[in-house]
Amino acid sequence: MTYLAVAYLGMLVAIALWTWTVVQRSRRLDERLEALERADRGGTEATKKTDG
């Protein structure tokens, strides 16, 4: 029963880690994309002001 519990828990931890990695990667990408979009918007507004 012990090896069974170890095998079970090992797999549970493994899929938890895998899921955590996917969610974290997704969050980091979201943040990076938002930062890039903010920078782009900032650049466009600055250009508009200079033009005006």
Partner 1 sequence: MKWGEALLVLGFMGIGSTLLLALLWAPSVSINAFESPAAQRIFYWHVPAAWAAFIAFGALFVGSAGWLFQRSEWMWRLHVAGSEAGLACGLMAVWSGCVWGQAEWGTPWDWTDVRLNSFGLLTLLAIYVVLGRNSQPDGVETRDTFAAFGLYGFVLVPLTYVATRIWTIRHPGPVIGTGDEGSINGEMGLVLLLGAISFTVFIVGHMIASMRLTALEQRLESMLSMRDGGA
Interface residues with partner 1 (CB under 8 A) are 1, 3-5, 7-8, 11-12, 14-16, 18-19, 22-23, 25-26, 29-30, 32-33, 36
The first and second tokens of residue 25, run together, are: 């990667």
The residue among 15 and 48 lying less far from partner 1, judged by its C-beta, is 15
* Nearest-approach distance from CB 39 to partner 1, in angstroms: 9
The residue among 33 and 46 lying less far from partner 1, judged by its C-beta, is 33
Sign (positive or negative) of CA dihedral 34, 35, 36, 37: positive
Residue position matching structure tokens 């005006």 = 52
The first and second tokens of residue 6, run together, are: 């170890």
